Amino acid sequence: MGVEILEKPLPKPTSEDYISARLLEALTEANLALEFLSKGLVRNAAGKAFQAWRAFLASLLRLELDRLLKIVKSDEERRWLMDRAVPRVPTGRMKALSQMLEMVGYSGISSATDKALNLHDYQYNGPDPDMAVSKYRSRGEAAVDVKLLVRELVRRVEELKPRVKWGIELENTLKTVVGALDGKQ
Q: Give me the mean pLDDT over the 81-102 stretch.
A: 96
Low-confidence winner among 14-18, 25-29, 37-41 (lowest mean pLDDT): 14-18
Q: Are the CB atoms for 3 and 28 separated by under 8 Å?
A: yes
Q: Give me the mean pLDDT over the 105-126 stretch.
A: 97
Question: What integer pLDDT is reported at residue 15 of this predicted model?
Answer: 77
- Residue 115, C-beta contacts closer than 8 angstroms, at least 6 positions apart: 145, 148, 149, 152
Q: Are the CB atoms for 46 and 142 separated by under 8 Å?
A: yes
Residue 1 has pLDDT above 70, yes or no: no
Q: What is the pTM of this model?
A: 0.94
Q: Under CATH, which number does the domain 16-181 receive?
A: 1.20.120.330
Q: Is the dihedral of CA 171, 148, 86, 89 positive or negative?
A: negative
Position 13 confidence tier, pLDDT thresholds 50, 70, 90: confident
Question: What integer pLDDT is reported at residue 4 of this predicted model?
Answer: 72
